[in-house]
Amino acid sequence: MGFKLLPGTTYYFPNFVVQLLRSNLPPHQAAFRVPTFLNKIDIRSFLSQTYNIQITDVRTMVYLGREYVAKHRVSAARKTRLPSWKKAIVTMEEDFKFPPPPEIRKHGTGSAEEPGALKLPPLGGPGKSSGKRYRFKLPGWHEMQKKQREEKAALQKSGGSS
């Protein structure tokens, strides 16, 4: 349950993302991907206040973004670079335990009767990589389409006879 916001009080909420990274560090350390504008003091205070952990040390390192060749329609290739990012290795007093990975079933429908993840088509706009080409591969898609056609036909028959 959240807390009540008091009138006349100013609250400050973070406007950044701190991402937990999987790594081969000792159990009392964890790696995070943080924005480049955060410093060690900000990282320590954010993690300690948000997750109630005792932090003994913070080490940061800035990585240069990956360089790739962007091909344009004019047949000109241009080298571009992804934005740089910062990695923070946080040492804690207690051992850190990763949360268990989510359970994903192979052919889950996502319904209440059979919980599981429904595999979605790849993202993309209209064209070759569109999700429309892959929807028919989803489990239960054909039955859903058949049911929709039957309902549509029943509506048309009832609408035409009255």
Domains parsed from the chain with CATH numbers: 19-92 (3.30.70.330), 105-162 (no CATH)
Question: Which tens digit of pLDDT belongs to each residue from 93-121?
Answer: 999 877 777 666 555 455 545 555 555 55
Left if phi > 0, otherwise alpha if psi is -120 to 50, otherwise beta: which for 75? left
**pLDDT band at 40; cut points 50, 70, 90:** very high
Q: Which tokens go with 150?
A: 């039957």
In this structure, of 41-50, 52-61, 64-73, 104-113, the range with the lowest mean pLDDT score is 104-113
Using CA atoms, how far apart are residues 153 and 161, in angstroms rounded to an integer? 12
State the pLDDT confidence band at 35, using cuts at 50, 70 and 90: very high
pLDDT at residue number 45: 92
Query: Residue 131 has what pLDDT?
Result: 56
Q: Whole-angstrom Cα distance, residue 52 to residue 68? A: 40
Return the pLDDT at 111: 52
Which pTM was predicted?
A: 0.55
